[in-house]
Structure formats: C-alpha cells, structure tokens
Amino acid sequence: MLQAIEARGLAKRFGAVTAVEGVDLTLAPGEALGLLGPNGAGKSTLLSLVTGLRPADRGEIRIFGHPAGSEAARKSMGLTPQSAAFPPQITPRELIAYASARHGKRPDTDRLLTAFGLQRLIDRRMAGFSGGEVRRVALALAFCGAPRLAVVDEPTTGLDAATQEAFQSLARDYVASGGAMLLTSHHWDEIEAICDRLTMIDRGQRVLDGTLAEMRATMRINRISLVVDGAAPDWLPAPDTDGRRHLESADSDAVVTRLVREGVGFRDLLIHPLALKDILAHLRHEV
Amino acid sequence: MLSHLRAELVLAARILMRQPGFWVPTILFPAMLYSFFGASMAEGPAGIYALASFAVYAVVGVGFYQFGVSVAQDRETPFVLWQRSLPGAQWVGWAARIVVAMVVVLAAVGMVLLAGRWIGGVIPGRGETMRLLVACALVSVPSVLMGIALGSAVSARAAVPLSNLLFLPLAYLGGLWMPPALLPDSVAAISVWTPTRAMGEIAWAAIDGRAMPGRYLALLAGWTLLAIALTALAQARHRRAMFG
Ligand SMILES: Nc1ncnc2c1ncn2[C@@H]1O[C@H](COP(=O)(O)OP(=O)(O)OP(=O)(O)O)[C@@H](O)[C@H]1O
Ligand SMILES: [Mg+2]
C-alpha cells in the first residue's frame, strides 16, 4: 500500500544547531502517529520537512509517493502550524473559502463550523480573536481541503477542555475513515486518545518508536501503593510524605499474595497499570 | 488556476480595502500635494507637465509603500508560511497583489487628473491622457521592483521610515515636485542620476508625444537591475537564515 509518509535519513541543521539528525518516519493511511519530545527536540522542524516548507539537508521524503512540497503532495495534505496567525482584517469564513479555493474544493463550511465550535466567530474579523479562537480556526483550515494527510503541530495547545475533546473525537473519526494524521503533542493523554503509534525524538534523533499496543505489552508493569499500619517487612519501600508506600511490579498478584501470607497489616491498596508517560520512561531507560 | 487567482485577488483586495487608513492617504496624497503646490507652480502650458509629475509621484508611492512595506511585513509571517503549504503556485499570489496595486495606482492617478481639471484648470487631451497612462503603467514596473527590493532588504520596522526617507527626497530630487529647471544647481546635478527623474522624463516625453529619452530609459533600466540584484541577494540571505 502507498504510504502517506515515507521518510528516510532526514537531517536538518540551522547553523551550529542540529535540529533533526537521521530520522526515519512512515505513516500509513488510516493511522495516527504521535511525535513526542521535549522543547527544542526537533518536532516542528521535522514537520516543516514533511510539509516541504523547508528543504531537508539530507534524506528523502515521499508523501503518497510524491516529493514533499510538490504540488501533488500539497494537494493531499492539510497543515496546522504550531504558531498560527492570520490577517486581522479577514474573517474565518473568508479564510475557509480561500483555503478551499486553493485546494480546488467547494468549502464545506457547515461541517467545519460545528466540528470546531466556530459558529459564533465565523463572520467576525480576526482582529482581537483569543488564542484559543485562533487555534480553532487554524485547525479547521487544516481540514478544509478534505486532505488525505493531516499534519497538526500541537493541535490542542491553548484550547479549552471541551474543544480538546471535540478535536480528539474528530481526529479519531478522521483516522477511522482512512485519513492519516501526524501530530505532535506534549499531552500524553492526547497521544493515547488519538494515536496508534508514537515516535519519540530528543535532540533531533529518534529515541523510541513503536505502536502503543506493543509498548503496553512489553511493559506489563503495575504500580502498587498502600498504607501499612504497624511494622512493615524490609522488602517494602519506606513510605512517601503522603504516608503511602509505592512499588512497581510485573506481577502484582504475587505482591498481594505475599502481603497476605506474611500477615502485613495493610489498607487502601491501589493497583494501576503504568501510565504511557511511565512506560516511555522505562523503555527509554532500557534503550 | 483561475479559481486560485480569484481567491488571491479577493484576499488581497479585502485585506487592503479594510485598511482605509492605508489606502485613502495613498490615493489622496498625490492629488492633494498637486493641488497645494503643483497647480500653482506651473501655470499655463507648463501645467500639464506638473500634472504628469504628480501622476508619476503617485505611481512611485504605491510601489514603494504598498510593496516596500508589505513585503517586509509579510516575510516569514506564520500566515505566509501556511499559505506556502497550500496547493497552487506562489507567483499567483504575487500576481494578485500587483493587480490590486495597479488598481490603487489607477485610482491615485485618476485623483491627480481630477485635481488637474478642478484645481489646476489643466485638461489634457484624450491622446495626452492615454500616453500619460501608458507611461504610468511603464513606470510602475520599476517602482514595484524597487519597493520589493526595499522590503526584502530591511525589517518590517525599518521599512516605513526608510521608504519615507528615500521616497520623499527622491521625489524632490527627481523634479517631481517642482520642474527640474527650478532646482538649485547642486541638486540638479544629482537629479539627472535619480530613478524618479528618469520616470519623470519618460512621463513628460509621453505628454509631448516625443520619443522616449534613451539616456533616461537606460538609467531606469540600471536602477531596475540594481533593485532586482538587491532583492536576489536579500532573499538568499533570508533563505539562509531560515533554511539553515
Ligand atoms: N529557523 C531556525 N533557526 C535557527 N534554529 C532553529 C530554527 N528553527 C528551529 N531551530 C532550532 O532547532 C531545534 C528544534 O526546534 P523545533 O522547533 O523543531 O523544536 P520542537 O521539538 O518543535 O520544540 P517545541 O516542543 O518547543 O515546539 C531547536 O534547538 C531550535 O532552537
Ligand atoms: Mg514545536
């Protein structure tokens, strides 16, 4: 099957700064890939290579088989940049009409309006729009050309909780109906809610890559916490400031059995699977 | 392609029309200056040359301000970057902006012609008007290119004061505000090397129906090439700054 994104050995420097170094990326239609990494890791730079806004120093990128930045690649793609700003004299409706015209499509304004909660804003000039309002417009614009690939850089930064959820459900529908989505995020729950796969980059390099399901399977670790009244056995860690003792184990049943067998006086037992954030920390530690 | 061009035209026109603080002075200022100074300075048969001078002044103003300033302001804004991610050729957007600028030029020149009729009592014949409009169209090309060079070379913050600093003295030096014959000798010596003088000479020759003066055509071509070279250099510098 033709990949939405197929990139090999991407590299990009800015003077002395190496922003991206030898990164491979693939993304299939009907799949969402999350890019994670600390500030300055190179996520936005990577997206600018994929969208063809900047030429890569090295490496090759194909978007549905076409070179990044080519007319065919741009036709199949929609972008929400990390920092979006629009001419203050223009209304969202006019922008949607403009972007649709450039894609050679009829504007599907009604659908975008409800999806991004723009009904009250649609005919207002954008001067004075709040940060979240601008963000909603920027997200709607990525979808106006009915793209087969959506590239969204920190889509929900600055959005209120309801709009974040609305975006997540829109993103899931988009991917379920065959769209490919590449997104960056600093929100673990957002990556968990939308993505099938994630790539973690740090200082321009890929440090981790895989499907969320695989990662969970290799990391079947539970986090156990409890309160012990009276004497505790040596194998239990000392209590935290909250009075609870925390431990991690691949076999939480065995831990509980042992507690009961040794007659430890415990209460308030909590057992959680590791959060994505902690799984990644573990996996990175192993790398 | 056509729907792309239409979309760019509508966008450029909307952005401009919704900034009356920008286009109203651009259109009215040359006619106003003509009414205050040009009309009274050149009476009788010379009046029509003053009219042509202020028409050229209007053209240069749009080139310098509308392009100089907007090129500097637009460079690398998030909006322009996002536009570059859309399908369609980049030049279509430029073409649209030039068309919109031409409309503004036409309006500004039209106001000068009206001021000539009402205030200066100068009514050029049909042939003279047509030749003057052709000269204005010709002169608008180097004006726009010089504006683009200016906007490419300096930051958005510097573009407005710098275009004032260049445009107003150039208009004076070029003999657009008063006939070159009235310029002091020292100024007249500089005048013959300015692009605005070349533009003026072209417009005056057009009024008379004379052949275009070769020396000034060459001078203007030189300035235009210089502007293109400056633009290319500045753009290469921005590309390096941006693309690493
Ligand atoms: N135009 C540029 N000129 C110089 N350096 C740049 C440029 N763009 C990015 N960089 C540098 O490249 C590195 C990667 O930046 P990038 O914006 O890709 O990070 P990011 O992962 O998106 O970070 P964030 O989470 O903060 O958005 C940083 O060190 C940044 O300073
Ligand atoms: Mg970023």
Name the minimum distance, in Å, from the CA of B163 to any CA of chain A: 23
User: Cα–Cα distance between A141 and A230 in angstroms, integer?
Assistant: 61
Nearest by CB to A81, which of B7, B19, B81? B81
The answer to whether the CB of A217 is under 6 A from ligand 1 is: no
- Rounded to an integer, the average pLDDT of B37-56 is 85
Chain B environment of A75 (Cβ under 8 Å): 87
At residue B2, does pLDDT exceed 90? Answer: no
Determine which of B2, B83, B85 to mutate to test the interface with A (most A C-beta atoms within 10 Å).
B85
Contact (Cβ atoms closer than 8 angstroms) between residue B219 and residue B201: no
- Cβ separation of B85 and A103 shorter than 8 Å? no
Structural domains in chain A plus CATH codes: 5-216 (3.40.50.300), 220-286 (no CATH)
Å from CA of A44 to ligand 2 middle: 4
Dihedral in degrees, nearest 10, Cα atoms B87, B93, B96, B98? -160
For the whole model, what pTM was predicted? 0.85
pLDDT digits (tens, 9 = 90+) for A202-225: 999 998 888 988 887 777 788 899
- Nearest C-alpha neighbor of B143 from the set B56, B201, B215: B56
Name the minimum distance, in Å, from the CA of B204 to any CA of chain A: 39
Q: Tell me, what's the pLDDT at B243? A: 62
Burial class (CB in 10 A: 0-12, 13-18, 19+), A231: exposed
Å from CA of A208 to ligand 1 middle: 19
Give, to the nearest 10 degrees, the angle between helix B47-61 and helix B156-173: 170
**Atom number in ligand 1 closest to CA A204:** 14
Q: Tell me, what's the pLDDT at A62? A: 97
Chain B environment of A55 (Cβ under 8 Å): 243
What proportions of chain A, in percent to the nearest 5, are helix, strand and coil? 35, 30, 40
The answer to whether the CB of A270 is under 6 A from ligand 1 is: no
- Nearest C-alpha neighbor of A92 from the set A148, A58, A51, A135: A135
DSSP code at position A196:
S
| Angle, alpha carbons B204-B190-B42 (nearest 5°) | 40
- Rounded to an integer, the average pLDDT of B104-111 is 94
At residue B185, does pLDDT exceed 90? Answer: yes
Name the minimum distance, in Å, from the CA of A180 to any CA of chain B: 17
In chain B, pLDDT over 90 holds for what percent of residues? 59
pLDDT digits (tens, 9 = 90+) for B144-179: 899 989 988 988 888 888 888 988 899 999 999 988
> Which pLDDT band holds residue B242 (cuts at 50, 70, 90)?
low
Contact (Cβ atoms closer than 8 angstroms) between residue B78 and residue A85: yes
